[in-house]
Chains A and B, each alone.
Chain A
Amino acid sequence: MAELDTSSGGGKKGGKVRTKKASTRVDLTAMVDLAFLLITFFMLTTTLAKPKALDVPMPDKDEKTNDQLPVAASRSMTLLLGANNKVEWFIGVPGESQPTTEGYGKDGLRKTLLEKGREIQQSTGKYMVVLIKPSDKSTYKNLVDALDEIRITAVQSYAIVDITEPELGLLKRDGNY
């Protein structure tokens, strides 16, 4: 241990009077107490789990020009985000195919996205386009969940689009609005 020999020489040279050296040992207990107090304070005030960012690219919304190419209905999948954490999806034009109601998560939306993506890839040779249409009853969490599933299933192109009247009708009919 870090201790200095502070004992005076043992009094060999009898004549000289030596001033007795004070101990160099400092009691650090108080200092340690203080240090740990500060550590506790800083640990509690810092945010350890940093928030993560989910990047969202939006399509360029130019109100003047409308030169975007239409996407074939056969390879577009529409997700309607409804109330009560439910999502309805259909392929193609609304009204032509029967929409399916599902939940988010591993067995619901993710499975569908993977399956349909593969089917569309095989039948048309092109990737699937996903349109996310959140209704006014859906929550922010639903949007994040949907985007997350899209990211997990590596859908190449997707967009957040405003919901249309017939699609709202579909949601209402199935009790998801």
Chain B
Amino acid sequence: MARVKVPRKSTHIDMTAMCDVAFLLLTFFILTAKPRTEDPVPVDVPGSSVEIPIPDDNTLMLTVGNGKVFFSVDGSDIRKATLEQMGEKYNVTFTPQEKATFASLPVFGVPMNQLQSFLKMDVDQRKEYKQPGIPKDTTNANELSDWIREARKANAALHSKPLYVTIKGDSKEEYPTIKTVITILTKQKNNKFALITTVRAATKK
């Protein structure tokens, strides 16, 4: 018997629609993207039932973990101004190169006297380097307190609205460190701040 020949169909698929969709999604992700900043110490944020997201900009974040405190503030212009003011205060002059590096640094935690050598490192070295955290105590004149104050001043001068201070702490962090940070904030009459949490999973415990 003669076989019925099935006519072969073309294997060519029209990719136009798929391409459209792909680029649509790509555009969406590019526009909503906010690069993930790597935490200098592992931070496991505790959960809570709050559902107010932190604002996108105009925030100062203090990352607390392993007893160290790290400092980050949004906006490269604020970072640069803060560094300049801190330089004046501590009699350190920063080169334009160092200022530029600092302005692009999302988060840092080194004492003032090590800051210049920290800024001189290249990206990979900086990633490897174990940052000691910003020195802090409960007196009025300590580096962390000065950083926060200068950042608030810089923000007020540049954006004319108050800085939103947030604390991002590790779940396991013992209270004394948090207490020091809170004391520093209240001493500056910054009585309202926020603790960063994630949304708690529905089934817990």
Residues of chain A having any CB pair with chain B under 8 Å: 1-2, 27-29, 31-32, 35-36, 38-39, 42-43, 45-47, 49-61, 81, 105, 134-145, 147-148, 151-152, 160, 162
Task: Indicate whether B132 reaches chain A with its CB closer than 8 angstroms.
Answer: no
Task: Indicate whether B50 reaches chain A with its CB closer than 8 angstroms.
Answer: yes
Task: Indicate whether B51 reaches chain A with its CB closer than 8 angstroms.
Answer: yes
A61, chain B: closest CB distance, angstroms: 5
Residues of chain B having any CB pair with chain A under 8 Å: 14-16, 18-19, 22-23, 25-26, 29-30, 32-36, 45-46, 48-54, 64, 166, 168-176, 178-179, 182, 185-187, 189, 191-199, 204-205
Q: Is the interface of A mostly helix, strand, loop or mixed?
A: mixed
Name which of B32, B49, B191, B195 has the most chain A CB atoms within 10 A of its CB: B195
- Tell me the bound Cα distance from A145 to B193 in angstroms: 16
15 cross-chain CB contacts under 8 A: A35-B23, A42-B29, A43-B29, A51-B168, A53-B53, A56-B194, A58-B182, A58-B186, A60-B191, A134-B179, A136-B176, A138-B174, A139-B172, A140-B172, A148-B197
Residue in B16, B64, B175, B199 whose beta carbon sits within 8 Å of that of A28 in the complex: B16
Inter-chain CB contacts under 8 Å: number: 155
- Tell me the bound Cα distance from A136 to B53 in angstroms: 29
- Tell me the bound Cα distance from A97 to B198 in angstroms: 36
